[in-house]
Amino acid sequence: MQTLEVLFRLITFVLNAFILRFLSKEIVGIVNVRLTLLYSTTVFLAREAFRRACLSGGTQRDWRQTLNLLWLTVPLGVFWSLFLGWIWLQLLEVPDPNVIPHYGTGVVVFALSVVVELLGEPFWVLAQAHMFVKLKVIAESLSVILKSVLTACLVLWLPHWGLHIFSLAQLFYTTVLVLCYVIYFTKLLGSPESTKQQTLPVSRMTDLLPNVMRSRAFVNWTEAKLTWSFFKQSFLKQILTEGERYVMTFLNVLNFGDQGVYDIVNNLGSLVARLIFQPIEESFYIFFAKVLERGKDATLQKQEDIAVAAAVLESLLKLALLAGLTITVFGFAYSQLALDIYGGTMLSSGSGPVLLRSYCLYVLLLAINGVTECFTFAAMSKEEVDRYNCTMLALSSSFLVLSYLLTRWCGSVGFILANCFNMAVRITQSFRFIHRYYRKTPYRPLAGLYLSPVLLGVFALSGGITGVSEVFLCCDQGWPARLAHVAVGTFCLGATLGTTFLTETKLIHFLRTQLGVSRLADKMT
């Protein structure tokens, strides 16, 4: 299933790269920032708290009341669509219709797509509660791919449609997503196997519709109150999660073109974090949580466990540092070429290369923070986690102010600099905890952040060579020169990896051990 999901992502990535070559950066900014923010905000306000409340407590409940509660997301979605749609049309800056036509239609259709998607909410929650993982992956991946295919076809054949293309594609996406769930449950509930097994709390499709019960309340009021609690808790989180887009949209710190370029670079740069660092963080959080007793001093735990955790943390820090440094050093010289290949001159000219180079530094901080926080959250007591979360919430709030000030000062790169500052403070907090945790033991896992002078020298030399190569060989010299630039980078990367292999023997042994464990687990499953 993971292989299928990666394949779907790869196909979508290629389709998006194709689409970008036929668009202006202004249209990308309007669609990816302005209209997508309208969609994500409306969806969040209408359903997020309902999902969290209705998925709490397992499958043993009165599902008729739960389904009734979930259907309330539809009228709530209509309300938020109308209210936010009015704000997007009347209070925010409207783009020049000669440059970006059909903006009003885009707002209306994106808001309508939210209501369409909410029609499938009862089906989604029922599927999640009963662990229909395959259904979720296939439905979402198929919807995204078909949306990208439709967008690519319309952009190629009917480019003059403008925002009509993306509006139609968005409505098509939500329709397909809902239909996947409806068709699946229609076939499942109509099969004799489902009737025999009685695995679901409903036996026919009409049971999934709103149902007024005479003997019981329309909804479970405990779930309803829980929904309100989750809404209050997560509202600020939504603002912080989409903070950059809110700052761009409501404070007008960037024009639509710069917004489009920033969003593309941000999504492109975050691919590494999602595909490489996030799985490592999730896996080793589970490892640390099993090895260490939460909230217990290191001197009071089994010393074998403390030693193993320290050794693994040291190796992970070394791995994160080396991976992040490699991306930073080589990303600096190859950002312009990568953007030119991915999106053409729209991305490779202007602010795009500077943004991606800055993002490479941010990836280094992301890698280190992911490792330190996965240990920190596994070892902290519940009280310490609560205090830490409050600190991070205050820091994230200050990020909005800092991003506004830095963006006014140095343009779109200010968002990345604000993220770097935010991440550096989080890393510092984790370093302090790890240092205190191992202070009374002979183990010093933070030593994983030290590299040999030889390896540091190779990194510096590689950065210098590839930087000079970029000046003379990339990116206006034609493909022979570009290929020569790639060859130079390949040679430098090989030299860097070879030096790492020779100098970081402890890390190489750790990686070989982990690879052996993974192969054994695959054979057992």
95 close to 26: Cβ distance less than 8 angstroms? yes
Count of residues in the chain: 525
Name the band, by pLDDT with cuts 50, 70 and 90, for residue 521: very low
pLDDT tens-digit profile of 222-272?
Answer: 888 888 887 876 676 677 778 889 999 998 889 999 999 999 998 888 887
pLDDT score recorded for residue 524: 40
| DSSP code string of 18-79 | HHHTTS-HHHHHIIIIIIHHHHHHHHIIIIIHHHHHHTTT-S-S-HHHHHHHHHTHHHHHHH
- Euclidean distance between CA atoms 105 and 214, whole angstroms: 43
% of the chain at pLDDT higher than 90: 48
How large is the average pLDDT for residues 384-407? 82
Structure tokens at 204: 């026919």
In the three-class reduction of DSSP (H, G, I as helix; E, B as strand; rest coil), residue 139 is classed as helix
Structure tokens at 450: 């030290």
Structure tokens at 436: 């205190």
User: Among the listed ranges 133-142, 166-175, 448-457, 484-493, which one has the minimum average pLDDT value?
Assistant: 133-142
407 close to 414: Cβ distance less than 8 angstroms? yes
136 close to 76: Cβ distance less than 8 angstroms? no
- Looking at per-residue pLDDT, the higher value among 470 and 273 belongs to 470
pLDDT score of 197 more than 60? no
**Residue type, position 133, single letter:** V
pLDDT score of 415 more than 90? yes
Name the band, by pLDDT with cuts 50, 70 and 90, for residue 523: very low
- Cβ partners under 8 Å of residue 498, min gap 6: none
pLDDT score of 28 more than 70? yes
| DSSP code string of 259-284 | HHHHHHHHHHHHHHIIIIIHHHHHHH
Rounded to two decimals, the pTM is: 0.86
- Euclidean distance between CA atoms 419 and 396, whole angstroms: 9
- Euclidean distance between CA atoms 170 and 155, whole angstroms: 14
Structure tokens at 188: 């499942």
pLDDT score of 434 more than 80? yes
- Euclidean distance between CA atoms 360 and 348, whole angstroms: 16
The number of angstroms, rounded, from the C-alpha of 522 to the middle of its chain's C-alpha atoms is 27
The number of angstroms, rounded, from the C-alpha of 44 to the middle of its chain's C-alpha atoms is 15
pLDDT tens-digit profile of 341-375?
Answer: 888 888 888 889 999 999 999 999 999 999 998 89
pLDDT tens-digit profile of 97-147?
Answer: 888 889 999 999 999 999 999 999 999 998 888 888 889 889 999 999 999
User: Among the listed ranges 57-71, 149-163, 253-267, which one has the minimum average pLDDT value?
Assistant: 57-71
pLDDT score recorded for residue 11: 81
Largest interatomic CA distance in the chain? 80
pLDDT score recorded for residue 210: 84
- Looking at per-residue pLDDT, the higher value among 59 and 36 belongs to 36
How large is the average pLDDT for residues 173-177? 97
pLDDT score recorded for residue 4: 65
How large is the average pLDDT for residues 452-462? 95
How far the first Cα of the chain sits from its last, in Å, is: 14
How large is the average pLDDT for residues 467-491? 89
pLDDT score of 13 more than 70? yes
Q: Average per-residue pLDDT in the chain?
A: 87
40 close to 242: Cβ distance less than 8 angstroms? yes
Question: Which contiguous run of DSSP H or E holds residue 207?
Answer: none
**Residue type, position 228, single letter:** W
The domain locations on the chain are: 2-207+220-240, 246-445
pLDDT score recorded for residue 520: 38
pLDDT score recorded for residue 274: 75
pLDDT score of 1 more than 60? no
Structure tokens at 390: 């409050």
- Euclidean distance between CA atoms 316 and 283, whole angstroms: 12
